[in-house]
A and B are shown apart, each in its own frame.
Chain A
Amino acid sequence: MTDGANDEFEALQARVRELEERLESRASEETFRLVVETAPYGMVVADASGSIVLCNPQAERMFGYTTEQLLAARIEDLVPPRFRSAHPRLRQTFHEDPVHRPMGAGRDLLACRRNGSEFPIEIALTPLPRSEGLLVLATIVDITSRKRGEEELLRYSRRLEQSNAELESFASIASHDLQEPLRKIRMMGERLAGLCEAELGEQGRDYLDRMIRAGDNMHRLVRDLLEFSRVGMRQQSFRLLPLGTALGEALAALELLIEETGAEIRAGELPSAEVEETQMVQLFQNLVGNALKFRREGVSPIVEVRGSVETGATGERVRIEVADNGIGFDPRYGERIFQIFQRLHGKGKYGGTGIGLAICKKIVDNHEGRIQASAEPGEGSVFVVDLPLRKRRQFDTDSDPK
């Protein structure tokens, strides 16, 4: 080949490459256009001066413009009038350091429609370097409905907090005001018994004793009812706690009863779970206390506490069993024993108000768990508590915007 032919060939090759590149660039331009057109977000591309050079139908609908109108507009036209004067500076700042800025990051921004109405948005900014200068792609999501949902949720949780506070204050006032007269009945009774013993006589003394006992009963009822109503109403702090710690505290509180009944407590290894400590201590105290209370006459009570972790469809769950060798109960009553004021025995033999197990159920409900009891008369009973190892977050705030 001659030199001339060679030159010509090289020039041709260069031309082909150039055409290829232009074709490629046109293809990628096409792809880009297609992506913008069909994206589920509003998209607007603006140049360094803030003029809109490209937009998609979603942006047109969102802001209430036609394509022609939007292409003739500037970015500032989409900003509420009171923020317009400050906006070019923000744009300039971005141009000086053009890095991708993702959605969210907790910015509450407002946008302005053609008719002047405003709506909350989230916006992502992407720099698009071009030979003719830097372009910026703004991806915009209208978050009106999400905002409304969040506000509703906030309003709802405020209402809930308020009604909880009202209930709590009602409970404490009721307890105070109901306890006061009871305390006096008891004190007056004691004074009467002490100072007027001779005049009372045997029968009078008997009536008085029974009156005082009834007052004491009522006092316990009010106190337990108050305790029941307070479960889950006070400020609660759930944290990962070795359940053995809670059991230990409960057993310490029951020390005297354990000693009196000569009970043997077999505490196995217990797992940790995310729980409210005071409630968990009370749960163990009530369950073990219940096992000791309904012991078999002439048989040393044995209470066994076992724990395990199971992985199920709803995540890891903790299972706690409290088993005793006491009098048990008729399995027919397996549900009823957790209802408030339900007693399976006459008051003479076993004291108490019938609230202990109802409190257990309320505590377990409060932990989004389950409690069940199984037993045979005379064969002892087993109480099974099943709790999620981790508390389910109710209002997760870090979920991704759609």
Chain B
Amino acid sequence: MNRECILMMADDDPDDREFVREAFEESGFRGEFRYVDDGAALLDYLALARDSGRRGAHPIPDLILLDLNMPRIDGHEALKRIKSDERLRRIPIVVLSTTESQTDVERTYDEGVNSFITKPASFAELVEMAKRLKIYWLELVKLPGETAAR
């Protein structure tokens, strides 16, 4: 990583946001952790980011962590809209949800999610998850990055 990574989390639960932020800190993530309260706020943010690119107050995130059950615009709807936006759809999105229902999982993949993770039940597992997400999405895989969307 030769630049600061931006991690965006959309979750209406402040406790969960804090857990995930702390877990990423503990995993050695040194980028910027941002969050929004719901799907509508995420779409607002991305609309600004789309037009300003990586510079400015609303940089395009490198990875989005998305909750499904949120007020106003839920995760499914937000996911569909991002994945149908030509300039946003390449941003990897990982759904972090409490649901374990197979129907939900299948539906979310149909909507174009990159990974689906059921929220771990312990902090230790959460740190483990953060480590893996960091290594995989922010270090290992080659992202469309600078050339395309930005």
Which A-chain residue is minimally distant from B97 (CB atoms)? Answer: A176
Interface pick from A39-47, A187-195, A247-255, A288-296: A187-195
Interface residues on B, range: 10 to 19
Distance (Å) between the CB of B13 and the closest chain A CB?
8
Which B-chain residue is minimally distant from A235 (CB atoms)? Answer: B103
A contacts, CB < 8 Å to B: 172, 176, 179-180, 183-184, 186-188, 190-191, 194, 219
* Residues of B close to A176: CB separation below 8 A: 69, 98-99
Instruction: Please determine whether B122 and A184 come into contact, CB atoms closer than 8 angstroms.
Output: no
Given A176-B98, A186-B121, A187-B15, 18 additional A-B pairs, CB 8 A: A172-B99, A176-B99, A179-B98, A180-B13, A180-B98, A183-B98, A183-B119, A184-B15, A186-B122, A187-B19, A187-B122, A187-B126, A190-B122, A190-B124, A191-B22, A191-B123, A194-B123, A219-B121
- A sample of 17 inter-chain contacts (CB < 8 A) reads A172-B99, A172-B101, A176-B98, A176-B99, A179-B98, A180-B13, A180-B98, A183-B98, A183-B121, A184-B15, A186-B122, A187-B123, A187-B126, A188-B15, A190-B123, A190-B124, A194-B123
Q: Which of B15-40 contact A (CB under 8 A)?
A: 15, 19, 22
Contact with A along B51-75 (1 / 0, CB 8 A): 0000000000000000001000000
* Residues of A close to B119: CB separation below 8 A: 183
Summarize B's interface: helix, strand, loop or mixed.
loop
Distance (Å) between the CB of B75 and the closest chain A CB?
13
Give Cα A190 to B22, complex, Å.
Answer: 13
* Residues of B close to A188: CB separation below 8 A: 15
Distance (Å) between the CB of A234 and the closest chain B CB?
9
Distance (Å) between the CB of A197 and the closest chain B CB?
14
Give Cα A180 to B69, complex, Å.
Answer: 12
Which A-chain residue is minimally distant from B101 (CB atoms)? Answer: A172
* Residues of B close to A183: CB separation below 8 A: 98, 119, 121
Give Cα A190 to B122, complex, Å.
Answer: 7
Which A-chain residue is minimally distant from B119 (CB atoms)? Answer: A183
Distance (Å) between the CB of B96 and the closest chain A CB?
12
Distance (Å) between the CB of A189 and the closest chain B CB?
9
Distance (Å) between the CB of A222 and the closest chain B CB?
12
* Residues of A close to B126: CB separation below 8 A: 187
Distance (Å) between the CB of A166 and the closest chain B CB?
16
* Residues of A close to B22: CB separation below 8 A: 191
Distance (Å) between the CB of A185 and the closest chain B CB?
10
Which B-chain residue is minimally distant from A183 (CB atoms)? Answer: B121
Give Cα A31 to B15, complex, Å.
Answer: 90
Distance (Å) between the CB of A279 and the closest chain B CB?
15
* Residues of B close to A186: CB separation below 8 A: 121-122
Q: Which of B108-150 contact A (CB under 8 A)?
A: 119, 121-124, 126
* Residues of A close to B123: CB separation below 8 A: 187, 190-191, 194
Distance (Å) between the CB of A312 and the closest chain B CB?
37
* Residues of A close to B99: CB separation below 8 A: 172, 176
* Residues of B close to A180: CB separation below 8 A: 13, 98
